[in-house]
Homo-oligomer: A and B are copies of this chain.
Amino acid sequence: MKSLNPQIHLVSRPVGEPVVDNFKLLELPLPDLQDGQVLVRNHFLSLDPYMRGRMNEGKSYAQPQPLNQVMLGGTVGVVAASKYAAYAEGDTVLTMGGWQHFCVLDANQRGSLQKVDARQIPLSAFLGALGMPGVTAWYGLVKIIAPKPEETVVVSAASGAVGSVVGQLAKARGARVVGLAGGAEKCRYVQEELGFDACIDYKQHADVKSLSAALKSACPDGIDGYFENVGGQILDAVMSRANPFSRVAMCGMIAGYNGEPIPMSAPQLILINRMKIEGFIVTEHLDVWPEALKELAALLTAGRLKFRESVSEGLASAPEAFLGLLKGRNFGKQLVRLI
């Protein structure tokens, strides 16, 4: 009898806000391993805001998640069986293993899996600060914002997997760093644990005017760089305090993921302040990954890159955890423990 592989499929596309019924847990038999293939037992699944975009059918930067197939997603795990010489049982690997216990990979397909050295670093970090979120933070901060010492950098979703790394990288470059996060607990963490200079609880500010005033007080010299994870009113407020020649790295706009309109109210500020706004997707910049990971690993080992995780237990909990992530209920990198 074949082993069964529990997995979660997308069975319908959300209309507006996604719901748990868009997902379905199934147990399907594992296929036999062919030559050149590797079987990986997923240990941690990464949940990320980009997955929301892929649940739609419309035009975006990636192909839509196909219906009635395993939800795509990054995982770290351990090789359970191998018919490919370069991988052996017990190797720890990073892969797009999906929302499931096991995945079968064609190991000779470039980039399909990557060995990671988890002897001194917790396995889950390769999905966070030392993985895609960490490199995303690095790219936007280093390649787009490029802060000079003494400049002011603002980061939204500051306690999250990406935002927390952005701020710590900016601090390491001598910038003044101000976070935006939802709730007093997250703000305290951002300021006290991560070492940001200030953190604004955006939930305390009902409109752009109030948020803009809070930014003015937290950023007395204006804003030179902004790492955008949220969009909407937060972007408007930041732009109202932006300095000449400021840079915005546009990484995510979670405020509009469910199709809400999120206009930018005063694009003329781009001209008035000679701003640069640039959108990016980190998987399109694979050339910078080695340099980025090298700096991130060095900071982590030196204790200068802290991160926090929200770990949801068991595959069945993934849809609920994902919906919580979209509402900001997570605190730090959202993961699902699969074993």
Chain A residues engaging chain B, CB cutoff 8 angstroms: 53, 59-61, 231, 235, 244, 250-253, 256, 261-268, 270-281, 284
Contact = CB atoms under 8 A, between A and B. Distances in A.
Contact of A276 (B265, B266, B276): B276
A280 B235 CA distance: 20
Contact of A59 (B262, B272, B276, B278): B272
A271 B251 CA distance: 7
Nearest to A61: B272
Given A253-B268, A264-B264, A277-B277, 6 more contacts: A59-B272, A61-B271, A253-B267, A264-B267, A271-B279, A275-B278
Contacts of A61: 244, 271-274
A6 B242 CA distance: 41
Contact of A267 (B59, B262, B273, B274): B262
Given A253-B267, A263-B265, A263-B266, A276 B274 contact: no
7 contacts: A251-B271, A267-B267, A273-B279, A274-B279, A274-B284, A275-B278, A277-B277
B274 A281 contact: yes
A275 B264 CA distance: 15
Contacts of A274: 61, 278-281, 284
A2 to B, nearest CB: 41
A273 B60 CA distance: 7
A52 B251 CA distance: 35
B267 A235 contact: yes
A295 B253 CA distance: 41
Given A267-B262, A267-B263, A272 B60 contact: yes
Contacts of A264: 263-264, 267
A250 B279 contact: no
Contacts of A273: 61, 279
A256 B231 contact: no
A235 B53 CA distance: 24
A253 B272 CA distance: 10
Given A61-B244, A276-B277, A276-B278, A252 B265 contact: no
A232 B252 CA distance: 23
Contacts of A284: 274
Contacts of A267: 231, 235, 250, 253, 262-264, 267
A153 B250 CA distance: 23
Closest 7 CB pairs of A and B: A271-B279, A263-B263, A264-B267, A264-B264, A270-B279, A276-B278, A274-B279
A278 B264 CA distance: 15
A130 to B, nearest CB: 24
A268 B256 contact: yes
Nearest to A256: B268
